[in-house]
Amino acid sequence: MLRHRRLVVASLFLAAFAALFVGQSRLGAAAANQRVDAPRFEVDPLWPKPLPNRWILGSAIGVGIDSRDHVYIIHRGDSTLNQRTESGADANPPMADCCRAAPPVLEFDPDGNLVKAWGGPGAGYDWPQSNHGIAVDEKDNVWIGGNGREDSHILMFTRDGRFVKQIGAARQPTNSASREHFGGVAKVTLDPRANEAYVSDGYRNKRVAVLDMSSGALKRFWGAYGNVPSDSSYGRYNPDAPLIPQFRTPVHCAEPTHDGLVYVCDRPNNRIQVFTKDGKFVKEQQVARRTLGDGSVWDIAFSRDPQQKYLYLADGRNERVYILDRQTLEILTMFGDGGRQPGQFFAVHSIATDSRGNIYTTETYEGKRVQKFVYKGIGPVPRMDQGVVWPSRP
C-alpha cells in the first residue's frame, strides 16, 4: 500500500515536472519568436546607375533630398582618391584611361540617373577645404558646410551650382561663442516652417547654432544639456566615466522635428541629446555606449509619416543603421553589417529619407559610395539585428 502510494506521488511529481518543462519551453520559444513592428527595408543593389565619364566617388560625406525626391550627395574625390590605385586618369601625366574623380556635388533622380554634377572652387566664395554635409531647402537651394581647419563658413548654391551666398568668413579661429563665424560645420539642417537653419557646429566648435535662413544671421546657440558651450578639452571618451557636461567634437547633426524638438548627434559620446527648439534640454540616450574612437551616433533622419514616429540612426563605427521609437528612444531593430557588398557598410556616414520613406546612406573613409534602401512598409521584424536586408526573391 505504501509502495503504491509512493508510486502515485512520484508519478504525479513527474507529470507536474513535465508540464512545467513543456510550459517553460513554450514560453521560451514564444520569447525567442517574439516580434516587434517597425519599418522594413531592402537594399536596392542597382541604385544608382553607373556614373558617366569614368567618374568615381571619393569619401561621401553628405546626402540630402529635394522637393522632387532628387538625391544630392557630396564627396571628396579630389582629396581622398589615390591616383596610383584609383584615379589614374587624374594624374599628371595620366597614368591610365580610368578613372577620374567626379565633381563634388552629384544629383540623382529617383531612378538613380545622374542629373547634374558640379562644385569646387570658384569666384566670389571660399570652397571648403574639406566639404562636409549637404542639405536642400524648399526652394531647392543647396547648403554646404566644411570641417577642415580653414572651414568656418557655410555656402549656398542653386540646385544647378550657381553661387548664392556665403555665411561667415573662412580661416577664422575656434570660438564657440562667436556670432559671426563657425568652427568646422558638420551639417546644416533646415526648418522651413520657422525659416531657420540648424547648424551642427561641430568639428572645432562644440555647439548647435540656429540661423535665420533668409539673412544668415545667428539667432541662438547652445552646448550639451543646454549649457553655454565651452571650447575646453575633456580628453578622450571613457565609457566607464560619468558623461561630460559638454559636447565632444564632432557635434555631427542637429535635426529639428515637426513637434518642436531637436535631436543632436554627440558622436564621440555615443549619445543622442534632445532639446526644445530654443535649446532647453529634454532627455538623452546613449547607443552602443562602449564604442570608442569615432563613436556610434553619426547622423539622424526621421520617418516620413506626419508624426515622424521612427528615428533612423547611422552608426559608422559599428556599421549599421538603428531604427528607434523617436519618443522613447528605444531601439526596435537594426540592419546592415560591415563590408563592401550592397546592404553592407564601411563607415556609413550620412542618412536621409525621401517622401516615400526610402532611406539613402553615404559612406566615408574607404566606403566611398551611396546606397538606397527601399521602404517596404511597417511590419514584424524577425530579430533585433537583421544583418544585410537583401531583396527577397519573387
Query: What CATH number does residue 141 fall under?
Result: 2.120.10.30
Residue 275 pLDDT greater than 60, yes or no = yes
What average pLDDT score do residues 321-342 get? 97
**Number of helical (H) and strand (E) elements in the chain, helices listed first:** 2, 26
Neighbours of 60 (CB within 10 A): 28
What average pLDDT score do residues 329-344 get? 97
Q: Do the Cβ atoms of 172 and 126 come closer than 8 Å?
A: no
The predicted structure's pLDDT at residue 69: 97
Please identify which residue in the block is written with the cell numbers 538606397.
Answer: 372
**H or E segment and range at residue 338:** none
The pLDDT tens digits for 220-238 are 999 999 999 999 999 999 9
Residue 200 lies in a domain: no
Residue 29 pLDDT greater than 50, yes or no = no
Residue 320 pLDDT greater than 90, yes or no = yes
Residue 15 pLDDT greater than 80, yes or no = no
Residue 190 lies in a domain: no
The predicted structure's pLDDT at residue 26: 38
Residue 83 lies in a domain: yes
Residue 123 lies in a domain: yes
- pTM of the entire predicted model: 0.90
Please identify which residue in the block is written with the cell numbers 559671426.
Answer: 180
What average pLDDT score do residues 365-390 get? 95
Report the distance separating Cα 26 and Cα 21, nearest Å: 9
319's torsion region: left (phi>0), alpha (psi -120 to 50) or beta?
left
Report the distance separating Cα 65 and Cα 80, nearest Å: 24
The predicted structure's pLDDT at residue 382: 84
Residue 314: give the domain boundaries: 40-169+262-381
How far is the first Cα of the chain from the last one, in angstroms, to the nearest whole number? Answer: 68
Residue 366 lies in a domain: yes
Report the distance separating Cα 247 and Cα 234, nearest Å: 9
Residue 289 lies in a domain: yes
Q: How far, rounded to the nearest angstrom, does the alpha carbon of residue 284 sit from its chain's CA centroid?
A: 17
What average pLDDT score do residues 137-151 get? 96
The pLDDT tens digits for 32-87 are 445 789 999 999 999 999 999 999 999 999 999 999 999 999 999 989 999 999 99
3-state secondary structure of 5: helix
Please identify which residue in the block is written with the cell numbers 533622380.
Answer: 109
Q: Do the Cβ atoms of 167 and 141 come closer than 8 Å?
A: no
Residue 133 pLDDT greater than 80, yes or no = yes
Residue 201 pLDDT greater than 90, yes or no = yes
C-alpha cell at 237: 571618451
Q: Do the Cβ atoms of 373 and 358 come closer than 8 Å?
A: yes
Residue 30 lies in a domain: no
Report the distance separating Cα 100 and Cα 55, nearest Å: 5
Residue 3 pLDDT greater than 70, yes or no = no
Residue 14 pLDDT greater than 70, yes or no = no
Q: What average pLDDT does the structure give for the chain? A: 92
What average pLDDT score do residues 360-368 get? 97
Percent above pLDDT 90 for the chain: 89
pLDDT: is 34 or 286 the higher one?
Answer: 286
Lowest mean pLDDT of 34-48, 56-70, 278-292, 308-322, name the range: 34-48
Give the torsion sign (CA, 253, 216, 149, 205). Answer: negative
Listed in sequence order, the residues at least 6 apart from 203 whose beta carbon sits closer than 8 Å to its beta carbon are 132, 147, 151, 183, 184, 185, 186, 249, 250
Report the distance separating Cα 75 and Cα 49, nearest Å: 17
Rg (CA), the chain: 25
The predicted structure's pLDDT at residue 394: 62
The CA angle 361-366-370, to the nearest 5 degrees, is 20
C-alpha cell at 256: 529639428
Listed in sequence order, the residues at least 6 apart from 225 whose beta carbon sits closer than 8 Å to its beta carbon are 245, 273, 281
Report the distance separating Cα 322 and Cα 291, nearest Å: 15
Give, as one character, the DSSP assignment of residue 78: H
Residue 230 lies in a domain: no
Residue 370 pLDDT greater than 80, yes or no = yes
pLDDT: is 143 or 4 the higher one?
Answer: 143
Number of domains in the chain: 1
Is the N-terminal amide bond of 253 cis, ω within 30° of 0? no
The predicted structure's pLDDT at residue 34: 54
What average pLDDT score do residues 186-204 get? 97
**H or E segment and range at residue 157:** strand 154-157
Residue 241 pLDDT greater than 50, yes or no = yes
Report the distance separating Cα 159 and Cα 138, nearest Å: 11
